[in-house]
A and B are shown apart, each in its own frame.
Chain A
Amino acid sequence: MTRSTTLTAFRTALAGTALSFGLVAGMASASAQTITVWSGYPELVPFYQHVAESMREEFPDLRVEVNAIALREHERRVALGITSGQSAEVLELATSIAARYLENGLLATPPEDVQGFVADPANFGEFFVNSASYDGTVYGMPLFRGQSALYYNTEMFEAAGLEPPTTMEEFDTVAEALTQRDGSGNPTVSGWSMRLSGGGSGITEKFGINMFQHGGEILESDGNGKWRANFASDAGLATLKQYLHNLFVTNTVTVQMPADAEAFEREQTAMFIRESWVIGDIAAKAPDLPYATSTLPRGSIVNPVQLYVVGEGEQADAAWQYVMATQEPENLVWLLDNVGWLPNRSNLDFSEVIAEKPGFEAFVAYPDTYEFFSMPAIGPIDEVLTRAAASLEQAFANPSIAEDDAAIMAVLETIDNDVNAILAREGLLAE
């Protein structure tokens, strides 16, 4: 072989290799597709991955990236992501948050088959269809809901010979009986863990759940899309009074004590009200915890969460296919079983999960008279809740008003004024 022939052969081989690499790379980029899911619930990552796994056979080239961070950070990145055009394709949003984006036409309209699937009464109840819709059009896919029930430590209740409370008055007596104290009388295990600190809208949301049991809601509707604050009412007074009674009169709980699911899992509280995700959390962190759940005296809050898609074209098509895959019954039963959030789809068979984890019963098997409510899906709802929380938090630190109805009412009137000012500013205040 001459030198020139060798060189030519080498060049040909090099060109052939480059061409092959180029073709392979081209084919890969043409067939592989990646969609991203943004979630505000880190515990849902395994669910989204499970859904992606279930699609692998039918869509071998679809890659799903799941990015879940704490809810408040998630809401911030959605705001920044959508406005800068850098958003993920699939977004998980609560109805109240999605309302802002839908008002501005920033979320994609689903294909007809998706809209039909959501609107079909065989798949979703009217409440969930409405939660996923804006101005009569379906935009989101109902996924799961936050719904509350009472969690109680069965060993502590048995030791005290008590049954879970069925009225709000009983909550006080049971909490007092279950509180464990040190030699100085300071509580070491709270009788009833209430949401007292941490700031943010959660304080007001939990207050609203308790207020509902007392017969009222924090915002009153005029039936025409306008609202008015209702904290300064009999139900509001009874609710705040109950918080202060437990904090400063019977001292069944203090603001410094460990609280929430973590305290319950460590047996630092006898009972607390929370959503169904705690069941999955207990299974993971405190599998031997002796506990059960019970319905609340009057009813529960329901916070529906939907999946929305941003963008259009092939990416959006793939995203909608993924969103539809979340609705496979097998995936939704997996969601309840492994994560604990309640799927919104109707006519699913949860019997096996409930048999294995009876804690779910209070969330899916409730009395016929059980009532549900949700926070209004209005743009400034988060601001309303946060504003009210600031005043509530101050009240929770003020023992001087604990037994003074007039002073408690003054706090509630201040909250009403603040909230009504926000509603008025947004043109949402009822006459």
Chain B
Amino acid sequence: MLKRRRWIFSLVAILPVLAIFAYVRVYPIGEILRLSLHKWDILSREKPFIGLANFQELFGDSLFRTALFNTSIIAFGVLIITLPLALVLAALIHHRTRSRFASFYETTIFIPHVVSLVPAAMAWKWIFDARLGPLNAVLSVFGIPPQAWLFDPVLSIVSIIVLCSWQALGFAVLIYLVGFKNLPKSLFEASKLDGASGIQQFWFVAVPLLKPITLYVSVATLVSAFNVYAQVYVLASDAQGAPGRQVRVLVLDMLENTFRNYRVGYAASEAVVLLVIVLILTAIQFSLLREKGTR
């Protein structure tokens, strides 16, 4: 009887939270799924059902394919840069925990994550500037000719990857640091007694033990990178005469289809594709990184 009461109490206690979650999270996703099967121009009261026509058009749409390709390159680029770099930096900071500069290192790396996105992107826009940017000035010291960072189709994507990685790094390092601090010291001491070097301890003890952290960081980084928008908007915006090549990404394409082309159903089908991609990638990451025997 007591158990049943507790169960009812728990249910009642959690119900408001579940209701809010369902309203602000689940319902919009359901609504997007529904809209993706309709033709709607945001202004009209009519929303005719068109089945999978939006999806059919989507895969023949060269702009969508470009956006999907660019977004995927950016997302995986950010993941490939952020994950190992964050792991190494966190290891180095953890190794220097007793240093009086330890908190300075942590803060320095975390600051980009909390800095407002727009001013940060504006600063990077100046850094990447082909004529006046310090990046080309530094490259010229090594005899490398100035690069058109924000105009070249490849370099403009590289620039966005660099900016996104710079921002994502702080969060990843912070999470890894928490992971490092929770690793059992006995294992490191044992490996030291067995003659393992610092690098061997890192590679054969820390990295495997940090797998759950790596899973979380990689999922969070990848999902966040697939939703890239503001960085692209600032670096290569739509402003008249803006000194940058427009890099088309999925969120930008969705916004354009919704508010400029008045095609909400079509934009919703793009959102569904993005959702499916992120879900599949997350599932793959879980299957690759989850500890064997755990559920």
Contact = CB atoms under 8 A, between A and B. Distances in A.
A83 B43 contact: yes
B73 interface: no
A394 B245 CA distance: 10
B43 A255 contact: no
Contacts of B152: 397
B259 A197 contact: no
A82 B240 CA distance: 26
Interface stretch (A100-108, A148-156, A343-351, A368-376): A100-108
B148 A382 contact: no
A393 B245 contact: yes
Nearest to A102: B43
Contacts of A75: 259-260
B125 interface: no
Contacts of B131: 256-258
A199 B261 contact: no
Interface residues of B, number: 34
B38 interface: no
B51 interface: no
A197 B245 contact: yes
Interface string B114-151: 00000000000000001100000000000000001001
A199 B238 contact: yes
Interface string A62-92: 0000000010100110011011000000000
A390 B241 contact: no
A353 to B, nearest CB: 25
A115 B263 CA distance: 32
Contacts of A271: none
B149 to A, nearest CB: 9
A261 interface: yes
Contact of A255 (B41, B237, B245): B245
A198 B239 CA distance: 6
A100 B63 contact: no
B153 interface: yes
Nearest to B39: A425
Nearest to B44: A104
A197 B242 contact: yes
Interface in B226-250: 236-246, 248
Interface in B258-287: 258-263
Nearest to A80: B259
11 contacts: A70-B239, A100-B41, A101-B43, A198-B237, A199-B237, A199-B238, A255-B148, A382-B260, A390-B63, A390-B246, A394-B153
Interface of A: 70, 72, 75-76, 79-80, 82-83, 100-101, 103-104, 106, 195, 197-200, 202, 255-263, 379-380, 382-383, 386-387, 390, 393-394, 397, 418
Given A198-B238, A259-B243, 18 more contacts: A83-B42, A100-B41, A100-B262, A103-B43, A104-B43, A104-B44, A106-B43, A197-B245, A199-B238, A200-B238, A202-B240, A255-B148, A258-B131, A260-B240, A380-B261, A383-B263, A386-B256, A390-B63
